[in-house]
Amino acid sequence: MIDIEKCNDDHIDDHVDEEIFNCLNLKNLKSFFLFAGAGSGKTRTLVSVLERFRDQNYQQLQLNGQRIAIITFTNAACEEIQRRLDYDPLFSVSTIHSFIWELIREFDKDIREWLDANLNNQIDDLKLQLSKGRKGTKTYVDRVKSLEIKEKRINNLENIKHFTYNPSGLNQSKESLSHSEVISIGAYFLTNKPLMGKILVRKFPILLIDESQDTNKELINAFFEVERKNNNIFSLGLFGDTMQRIYSDGEVNLGNSLPDSWSKPVKKMNHRCPPRVIKLINKIRSTVDGQEQRERTDKNEGFVHMFILHSKTDKRNAEKKVVQRMAEITGDPKWEIVDADYTTLILEHHMAANRLGFIDMFEPLYKNDKLKTGLLDGSLSGLQFFTRIILPIVEADEIGDKLKITNITREYSNLLKFQKGERDQLLRISKARGAVDKLLSLWDDSKDPTCIDILQCVAELNLFEIPDSIFPLSVKEKKEELISEEITADGKSDVLIAWFESLNAPFSQIRAYDSYINDKSRFMTHQGVKGLEFPRVMVIIDDSEARGFLFSYEKLFGVKDKTEADKKNENEGKDTSIDRTRRLFYVTCSRAEESLAIVAYSTEPELVKKHVIQEGWFNESEVEILNVQ
């Protein structure tokens, strides 16, 4: 009897699909806010409702030349939804940035006007700051530079026929808008230019927004405005969970003051996490809004375990130990080091670089603003030289795959680009083979050559073309010249010095970097895992290693007291850094499908232990202070 009731529990959210489907009636469109927590099957709802909608309305939309827009926060989420909708062109699935860009890109004249006004404001601000600030400091120099750039840009505005959107640190063209400009322009146009709203509604009668709690607040309010003006002919559908708001420009009170006409379905189930994890996240949430998720009846209980270590512990050893303990506790061999399959969540990228061992090549490039984005998305040509040519050759050599080496060489090497009807092809092939062998001899006796060594070797052999960005480093004994360039310190030598420092790292770091950037490693950031799920999750918490200032786990865990700013925010009913950290903690914990390990480095392990037990997050038996050398 009880079992049957429980089984039905797994389906308590089924009515939600129906409710949303009813909003999407083209004759009388209605907006909705779906409260959908972690693992609530939000994407499944989205997909099944849209498929049903398509079956009934395909022709009419086709006839009107209309589509359904679904906008997501990250590319990962965008791809996932596209895939699950079978890449049907009826659905325009895009990130919020590309969606807004597509909306505004034709309006060059209006963009120019907006930019002119916006740049003028910024220039005024900068001038004010310059007049108040101290001279000769780094910030002063940066401000002067920034002012120059902005003045140049504003003077050049009238020459720009078409604006573009390809902001990457290095080759940012004069025509390009930045990420935040695109969003701000979109919000401004939607609010102040009625035509824009009409175009939007005409093209996309239905607009669904994933992770709406993190959508830029000006923009989300602009969408609300469009919705208000287009009752019944436009449906705005928001999917979100306020507890998972982890970016600072989301609308704080989203969902609190929605018009009565909106449908407000709530999903209660969590289909992802095991009962023990759900108990934990409900508890973490209890002081915020008391919303509780229900567990599935068909899941194993699952595991949560917290390991507390002193901040000065050796982290590699500590985390090895944690993994061993998790294997013992859960009896799950996938926590074992031998065939490990768990995901480690770090707060900031450099924490992954430390753990995967590529910090030496990472840090110099990361510090340089022009190289930072390219480093993180793997698009730097100077690194692709190593990751796409050298690394595959080295890996092919390790398994003795001669054919693969030849293929890579043929694809990239100058030595194997034949003229038509050229003679002596065999000679050149053997020459190229000899050159590759020479290059590979750098790894003889299990040596780990530096990237500079490899670069110079390749240059000497004339084996592969060397990207412009690192070409100056391919000439041997260039070091002194670099240092003299440093003294002149123009922008370009900054970049070159960063490259020089980075490429002094051993090549093995390139392999580690490549695995991280191309998602082959087990590491992800706390903020980057939004919407994702993994069977085994290890959350690394370490304020002392983190550099940012947005989150403070030491405060959340009761080690550090509330600051004046926290008390002030609390009194004014505003978000405090503790609230913010709690939400991030909630997001990371709610990724786990089977077992969850929290690894907290603290200056006061005993205090942390006391606090997390007192909060009711963990039982005594689930918390251990590890002493690792």
Is residue 515 near DNA by the rule CB under 7 A? Answer: no
Size of the site for DNA (CB under 7 A): 56
Whose Cβ is closer to DNA: residue 223's or residue 516's?
516
Cβ neighbours of 582 (radius 10 Å): 20
Out of 123, 461, 550, 626, the only residue in the binding site for DNA (CB under 7 A) is 550
Least distance from DNA to the Cβ atom of residue 212, Å: 15
Please check if 565 is assigned to a binding site.
no
Q: How does DSSP classify residue 334?
A: G
Phi/psi for 534 (5° steps) reads -145, 145
The answer to whether 331 and 479 are in contact (CB under 8 A) is: no
Q: Binding marks (x or -) toward DNA, 159..188, rule CB under 7 A?
A: ------xxxx----------xx--------
Spell out where 182-291 has E strands. Answer: 206-209, 235-240, 269-270
Of 40, 230, 474, 527, which lies in the binding site for DNA, with binding defined by CB under 7 A?
527
Binding mask 280-299 for DNA (x = CB under 7 A): --------------------
**Are the CB atoms for 37 and 285 separated by under 8 Å?**
no
Q: How far is the CB of 108 from DNA (least distance, A)?
A: 16
DSSP string covering 140-190: HHHHHHHHHHHHHHHHHGGG-SS-B----SSS--TTBPPHHHHHHHHHHHH
**Which residue from 294, 305, 349, 582 is in contact with DNA, where contact means CB under 7 A?**
349
Q: What is the CA radius of gyration of the chain?
A: 28
263 binds DNA (CB under 7 A): no
Segment interacting with DNA, rule: CB under 7 A, options 4-12, 326-334, 383-391, 561-569: 561-569
CB of 128 to DNA, least distance (A): 11
User: Any residues with CB less than 8 A from the CB of 381 and at least 6 apart, and which?
Assistant: 467, 468, 469
Integer Cα distance of 5 and 297 in angstroms: 10
Q: Which is nearer to DNA, 515 or 525 (CB)?
A: 525
**C-alpha distance from residue 344 to each of 10, 307, 335, 603 (Å):** 30, 14, 11, 22
What the block records as the tokens of 467 is 């990207």
Nearer to DNA, 218 or 622 (CB): 218
Which residues from 571-590 bind DNA, rule CB under 7 A? 574-577
For 2, phi and psi rounded to 5 degrees? -60, -40
Residues 352-381 that bind DNA (CB under 7 A): 366-367, 373, 376-377, 379
The site map against DNA for 473-512 (x = CB under 7 A) is ----------------------------------------
Q: Cβ 367 to DNA, closest distance in Å?
A: 7
Helical (H) or strand (E) element with 114? helix 108-132
User: Could you give the C-alpha distances from 164 to 149, 170, 179, 181, 308, in angstroms and in order?
Assistant: 18, 15, 11, 12, 49
Residues that bind DNA (CB under 7 A): 73-76, 95, 97-98, 101-102, 129, 132-134, 137-140, 142, 165-168, 179-180, 247-249, 347-350, 366-367, 373, 376-377, 379, 525, 527-528, 546-550, 552, 555, 563-566, 569, 574-577
